[in-house]
Amino acid sequence: MYTVDFIGLVCFSKRDGKGRIVLLPDGRNPGDRIDPHIPRLVVATDRLLGIDGNLQTEVIEDATEILLPKCSLNFSNADTEDPKGTTLDTAKHDPFVPRLSDIDPNFDADETAAVVKVRIRKGKLLAFRNRGGSNPDNPAIVSQLEVPSNGSVIITVKPDGNGKTAKIRLKPGTEIVLANAARRHNDKNNRSHFQIYERLARSPVSLSAPPTALGGGLDLLPTTNPFFRLADPVGANGDCTNTGCCPGG
């Protein structure tokens, strides 16, 4: 088994039946007074076997960050076609993430607007409380996908347009972070990160972070990924929480 932690602005769409289509809203240029959100994969450097293709990487302490273009990702064994249907278990996830259509009934996700898209159909999806943050009474909700696997982990990165596909090879059992969060916080940027979700909508909507700290009663995310030891653990408060949507909320 290996795991994928979804950190920051990540929306789980129900448009794939019992599976989920994971959509990251594009916050790379979020506008005035919002920290830029950089989509990236983060793994412990000693878990990385190699990268086949042209992807920008940065090593920070004992972590390797792989910066992502606008793309689709495939995690090995997580999108396995099963003749008996999907085997994704979301019972301990979906009831805990706020639904964007509950905040604005006009919200309808446009998959083509996502900066990163992932389809998951196999494994177990769980909701947890994020670590760190300046407001422990309003923690962000993060999701962890457990994927059954006995061998090496392959992540396929397919850029939108004419970019060449790349493959990331990891050791078995690696804990992967897929983050859509700011890398550093600027005190002058005081608008809510949650508004970036509006960029996923097919038509204009108004979204504000839920007033209730839904993540307060959840267990703390179990993790050994070095992402959570980096200098500035941004994305840990309630306005940078995982969400759900579509169809029927």
At 81 the pLDDT is 65
What mean pLDDT do residues 216-239 have?
A: 81
Q: Which region among 12-26, 133-147, 155-169 has the lowest average model confidence (pLDDT)?
A: 133-147
Three-state SS for 201?
Answer: strand
Instruction: DSSP letter for 156, please.
Output: E
Q: Is 83 buried (19+), middle (13-18) or exposed (0-12) by CB count in 10 A? A: exposed
At 135 the pLDDT is 65
175-182 and 2-8: which strand pairing? parallel
Shortest CA distance to 37 belongs to which of 8, 5, 12, 69? 8
- How confident is the prediction for the chain on average, in pLDDT? 90
Instruction: Determine contact, residues 127/99, Cβ cutoff 8 Å.
Output: no
d(CA 25, CA 213): 21
At 216 the pLDDT is 65
Shortest CA distance to 52 belongs to which of 168, 131, 206? 168
Instruction: Determine contact, residues 156/165, Cβ cutoff 8 Å.
Output: yes
Structural domain count, the chain:
1
Q: What percentage of residues in the chain have a pLDDT greater than 90?
A: 70
- Cβ neighbours of residue 224 closer than 8 Å, sequence gap 6 or more: 44, 175
At 44 the pLDDT is 98
d(CA 107, CA 248): 11
Instruction: Determine contact, residues 25/9, Cβ cutoff 8 Å.
Output: yes
Domain range spanning residue 96? 2-245
Instruction: Determine contact, residues 22/5, Cβ cutoff 8 Å.
Output: no
Buried b (16+ CB within 10 A) or exposed e, 40-55: bbbbbeebbeebeeeb
What type of residue is 120? I
CA distances (Å), origin 186, targets 34, 202, 233, 237: 9, 30, 13, 15
16, pLDDT greater than 90: no
Chain-centre distance for alpha carbon 224: 17
248, pLDDT greater than 60: no
Instruction: Determine contact, residues 142/6, Cβ cutoff 8 Å.
Output: yes
Decide which of 57 and 235 is more confident: 57
Chain-centre distance for alpha carbon 27: 13
Q: What percentage of residues in the chain have a pLDDT greater than 70?
A: 90
Evaluate the omega torsion of the peptide bond into residue 136 and state whether it is cis, within 30 degrees of 0. Answer: no
Read off the pLDDT of residues 194-225 as tens digits, 9 standing for 90 and up. 999 999 999 999 998 876 556 667 999 999 99
Read off the pLDDT of residues 50-88 as tens digits, 9 standing for 90 and up. 999 999 999 999 999 999 999 999 999 999 766 666 789
Decide which of 17 and 145 is more confident: 145
At 183 the pLDDT is 81
d(CA 105, CA 19): 23
Shortest CA distance to 172 belongs to which of 40, 22, 43, 39? 43
Buried b (16+ CB within 10 A) or exposed e, 170-209: beeebbbbbbbbbbeeeeeeeebbbbbbbbbbeeebebeb
